[in-house]
Amino acid sequence: MIDTPTSPITSGLPLFFVITVTAIKQGYEDWLRHNSDNEVNGAPVYVVRSGGLVKTRSKNIRVGDIVRVAKDEIFPADLVLLSSDRLDGSCHVTTASLDGETNLKTHVAVPETAVLQTVANLDTLIAVIECQQPEADLYRFMGRMKITQQMEEIVRPLGPESLLLRGARLKNTKEIFGVAVYTGMETKMALNYKSKSQKRSAVEKSMNTFLIIYLIILISEAIISTILKYTWQAEEKWDEPWYNQKTEHQRNSSKILKFISDFLAFLVLYNFIIPISLYVTVEMQKFLGSFFIGWDLDLYHEESDQKAQVNTSDLNEELGQVEYVFTDKTGTLTENEMQFRECSINGIKYQEINGRLVSEGPTPDSSEGNLSYLSSLSHLNNLSHLATSSSFRTSPENETELIKEHDLFFKAVSLCHTVQISSVQTDGIGDGPWQTNLAPSQLEYYASSPDEKALVEAAARFGIVFIGNSGETMEVKTLGKLERYKLLHILEFDSDRRRMSVIVQAPSGEKLLFVKGAESSVLPECIGGEIEKTRIHVDEFALKGLRTLCMAYREFTPKEYEEIDRRLFEARTALQQREEKLADVFQFIEKDLVLVGATAVEDKLQDKVRETIEALRMAGIKVWVLTGDKHETAVSVSLSCGHFHRTMNILELINQTSDSECAEKLRQLARRITEDHVIQHGLVVDGTSLSLALREHEKLFMEVCKNCSAVMCCRMAPLQKAKVIRLIKISPEKPITLAVGDGANDVSMIQEAHVGIGIMGKEGRQAARNSDYAIARFKFLSKLLFVHGHFYYIRIATLVQYFFYKNVCFITPQFLYQFYCLFSQQTLYDSVYLTLYNICFTSLPILIYSLLEQHIDPHVLQNKPTLYRDISKNRQLSMKTFLYWTILGFSHAFIFFFGSYFLIGKDTSLLGNGQMFGNWTFGTLVFTVMLITVTVKMALETHFWTWINHLVTWGSILFYFVFSLFYGGILWPFLSSQNMYFVFIQLLSSGSAWFAIILMVVTCLFLDIVKKVFDRQFHPTNIEKAQLTETNSSIKCLDSMCCFSEGETACASVGRMLERVIGRCSPSHVSRSWSASDPFYTNDRSILTLSTMDSSTC
């Protein structure tokens, strides 16, 4: 049995405290999740049973139950739509809670069930649904419904348009009935719940390294003490002195077991050198510190009423270590608010000016351009319907033919889309002549893509207005004349085809296919129209930074349409390889097209994007833009946002078709970089070339990229974005990466990067939900990194180093004391002090420091991005800094111990009655000096003082004195032994002890002050220089020690020295003064400042 030098309570209580605090935090979060789950699972729902509606809870829904959902209610399971209050069986839903898209989506029931609008009718339904196994993809669903009617079995295909997802909300529909196909954890929403990959910051990795070093120190001290004990006991007089005779059992016990027992006893005695409470303090600092980001008013976007969100507080300090930023373009650098700007119709380019479409060049019939027609179509109220296919294929020879070409173009724009209109808003729109100027006020379009909405609105401005869907009919009003087109099929957009199509039947009976998509996917399928002219126009649009789409059409003969209809039905009802079969049919349909024109919409840059990217570059951060846009558009936007400079040498790795060609091109680029005497290079890579480069030439590709100050990757698939980030992450330098995006296609790269930032934009909230942090605008990234990231890193770096320092100060005297007690494992400190040292006496000052410290003004940090370089590469937690703090702790511990030893050693009496100090008084003296020293050391590290800092710093010292007086001044009945009775009072009654305490504290800290003076005088860092110069711009001089007037005063030299020592500012002496020309924010409303705002200057 081991004779432990300290009680189990002394060793176990700090560990119990750490575990308890962590458990409370985790338990609280679990409790919140439990309440949230109960709220969802217990929601009331109505199901059809035995010919009536029965109220139950959502958790009781089973597969096959028919559920009724009313307007504005949330679907409790994944339902196949059976019927709605509309005759066509359609309904509108919004999936904002699933993918963030706020537009209304239309879902339709099969015709056989759409007529079953009552509970009684539904109770007679006999049908079987066959569908695929549950999967997480929100946009994929394959199944079929076998309906038995009058002894006949009817088979209908089921797709995503028939599935109502759990979590979506019913809109603009009174009620619907649906049958549950996936419930509980098999619903698509539940399958999308996935635990994020655990991200660990560089600080955590450094902490673990330091902990291993201290574990080695602990084991080394225990081994040394054990060996020296047996070396000392080799002399018989010390092995068994007359006052401590061994028992017979002790004499006969195993030497090996005794050695192990003593080694373990020393481990217990010295185990406090391992800062167990460090982890709980770091957890609290991260959790509480994360609230400051959400409270920062400079990160609040007033227009959208969105504040910054913290989804993962474990990475706060990583914001201060970023070396690479990977950003999406659309919606992240740009507003994702599309505005129609230009178009190309039949080889003629037009632009919209003040609501009028104006030709940029002469038409075939007029050298001056047909401006009278294009300015307004309102005089053509008698415009004839679409001409036949043969007239479309004929080049226009007069104004009427030209009008037909434009009419066809805008008809294609108005019909080829998935835009929805609220049924309430369209009441009365379809009757009577339509007025052009009423479109914006009376029609509000909802679209999943901002491009579609902008194009449909543009067509409405030019006289062809999409009125809405009525069953299978699409209604278009052309200059007041209502036309109805029967919607036969929709060929949905997908990322492989990069186009979408609709097949409609015109009022005159023709079956027409309208196609809209990227020029790379539409132009190769065209056999007619002004292909080359349109291609040139598309490239010109792209150079202006505009987003382009091409429009084409095809007319089917009755025989062609019959075959198309049959093949589509077969593909859509297939349960095996449905996607592949649909892709083949789509390719069969979308060919032999006639090109009618192209559109160009503008996506405006977000506010202050250029300034933010420039600031990131000044901070030493490399910015990469990863986008799915075409090459010309992406380069144009990169130039306009400052990612590429006009003076930058732009290198291109595009259109590579083979590994050898790609490798040769990479070698050429590498040679150009070394040979060109250009300061900065930019690299443009497309998706296909990137795939080749990453396949076998990673090192060569990385070498080229690292020598470029800006890289732009275009035509990127979502997984390619993640691969690029992973390539940088695993490079030998292992840089810290940050990814910024706003859409679902950015989720993969956000989760791959060390830090993921989601933009709460118009492409939904999926990126924001899967990110570590979410902000409303790209410009907020500068403050998030340069201010919050800088502060968080400095705070937690100091916290970690300080914890190890104060534990070295704490335990080293315990180790030294063993040399004076024959390594008998006698403890130097009372067990209560051992327990409370980390829990009470020294915990609050460092915690408050780690939450509130501002070693430099936030405004200075933001206006001087170069200061960010000073904390990169985890410099504050380098091995050199760690060794400095550790050696400082050992040196202070030696001063504590030997200073106290020389004071009361040699039988010296320090009391007036001649009584001598004992063992516990000596230990209490060492503990008192140590506690004051480590607390004042924390005060020296503090630059930003608030009343909270004063309270916890000086209050901790005061609490120790008050506690010790009570603890040692009363005989506590529940304590078995009270070694400290009257010890502390006796110590404080000695004037010599007071003098020794002050002398030792000053001696310890004097060494630290001298080092700070030397470093600031001869080797100041950029941050220390900024601390001295910031007073000229933002700190009011009120005889503060952080700034001094031009005139010399009696204490000016002392003030200057103190300033160089600690670079400190007091909030009562600080006032921010901003100028209107500040590049980022005109004021600092951050709650981080905790100080009064004042517009006056020094």
pLDDT at position 388: 33
Give the strand order in the sheet containing 152-158. 127-131, 143-149, 152-158
Model confidence at 137: pLDDT above 90: no
Classify each residue of 753-771 as buried b or exposed e, where b means 16 or more C-beta atoms within 10 Å of its C-beta.
Answer: bbbbbbbbbbbbbbbbbbb
Residue 194, pLDDT above cutoff 70: no
Going from the C-alpha of 705 to that of each of 518, 651, 669, 711, 736, the distances in angstroms are: 28, 10, 10, 7, 16
- What is the pLDDT averaged over residues 87-102? 71
Q: For 214-228, 831-845, 1054-1068, which range has the lowest pLDDT when averaged over its residues? A: 1054-1068
Number of H helices, E strands in the chain: 41, 34
pLDDT at res. 1051 = 44
140-149 mean pLDDT? 88
pLDDT, tens only, 423-469: 444 433 333 333 333 444 467 777 666 778 888 988 888 888 888 87
- For residue 232, what are the contacts with CB-CB under 8 A and spacing of at least 6? 238, 822, 823
Q: What percent of the chain has pLDDT over 70?
A: 79
Mean of pLDDT over the chain: 78
What is the pLDDT at residue 528? 87
Query: In the structure encoding, which two tokens stand for residue 629, read together?
Result: 């846009």
Contact indicator for 164, 107 with CB cutoff of 8 Å = yes
- pLDDT at residue 726 greater than cutoff 50: yes
Task: Say how many residues make up the chain.
Answer: 1098
Contact between residue 672 and residue 651 where contact means Cβ atoms under 8 Å apart: yes
- Residue 123 is among the residues annotated as catalytic for this protein: no
pTM (global) more than 0.85: no
Angle (CA) 971-976-981 rounded to 5° is 35
- Whether residue 772 contacts residue 901, with contact meaning beta carbons closer than 8 Å, is answered with no
In angstroms, what CA-CA distances link 887 with 397, 796, 805, 1056? 92, 20, 8, 28
* The pLDDT value given to residue 928: 93
Q: What is the pLDDT of residue 430?
A: 37
pLDDT confidence tier of residue 172, bands split at 50, 70 and 90: confident
> What pLDDT, on a 0 to 100 scale, did the predictor assign at position 236?
65
Q: For residues 857-878, give the mean pLDDT.
A: 88
Burial of 688 (0-12, 13-18, 19+ CB in 10 A): middle
pLDDT at residue 878 in the model: 87
Grade residue 1088 by pLDDT with cuts at 50, 70 and 90.
Answer: very low
- Res. 241: pLDDT tops 70: no
36-45, 510-519, 871-880: least confident range: 36-45
pLDDT tens figures, 913-967: 556 566 788 888 999 999 999 999 999 999 989 999 999 999 999 999 999 888 8
Which phi and psi (to 5°) does residue 433 adopt? -65, 140
The Cα 293–Cα 300 span in angstroms is 10
Which of 78, 99, 262, 328 does the annotation list as catalytic? Answer: 328
* 469 close to 122: Cβ distance less than 8 angstroms: no
Q: Rounded to whole angstroms, what are the CA distances from 171 to 422, 961, 1017?
A: 9, 67, 69
- Average pLDDT on 497-505 reads 86
Section 607-618 average pLDDT: 89
Of 155, 63, 50, give the one whose Cα is nearest residue 112.
155
Evaluate if residue 1041 carries a pLDDT over 60: no
Strands 127-131 and 309-310: unpaired
* Each residue's pLDDT tens digit, 623-667: 999 887 767 667 777 877 888 877 788 888 887 778 888 888 888
DSSP E strands, 619-747: 622-626, 649-653, 681-686, 710-714, 737-741
pLDDT value at residue 193? 57
**Which pLDDT belongs to residue 959?**
94
Q: Which long-range contacts (CB under 8 A, 24 or more apart) does 993-1001 make?
A: 993/903, 993/910, 993/925, 996/899, 996/900, 996/903, 996/925, 996/929, 997/925, 997/928, 997/929, 997/932, 999/899, 1000/895, 1000/896, 1000/899, 1000/900, 1000/929, 1000/933, 1001/929, 1001/932, 1001/933, 1001/936
- Is the separation of the CB atoms in 724 and 741 below 8 Å? no
Listed range (27-36, 181-190, 526-535, 861-870) with the worst mean pLDDT:
27-36
Sign of the dihedral through C-alpha 663, 664, 669, 675:
positive
Please tell me which residue, 639 or 611, carries the higher pLDDT value. 611
* Confidence check: pLDDT of 679 > 80: no
- Mind giving me the DSSP string for 243-268? TSPPPHHHHHS-HHHHHHHHHHHHHH
> Residue 81's pLDDT is what?
93
DSSP classification of residue 648: S
Residue 147 forms beta bridges with which residues? 127, 154
Query: Is residue 133 scored above 80 in pLDDT?
Result: yes
Query: What pLDDT, in 10s, does the model give residues 734-789?
Result: 899 999 988 766 777 888 889 999 888 665 566 777 788 889 888 899 999 999 99
Q: 86-95 b/e with 16+ CB inside 10 Å = b?
A: bebbbbbbbb
In the structure, what pLDDT confidence band is assigned to residue 1039 with cuts at 50, 70 and 90? very low
Is the pLDDT score of 1050 beyond 50? no
- Residue 891 reports pLDDT greater than 80: yes
Q: Report residue 495's pLDDT band, with 50, 70 and 90 as the boundaries.
A: low
Write the Ramachandran bin of 495: left for phi over 0, alpha for psi from -120 to 50, otherwise beta. Answer: alpha
Residue 29's pLDDT is 61
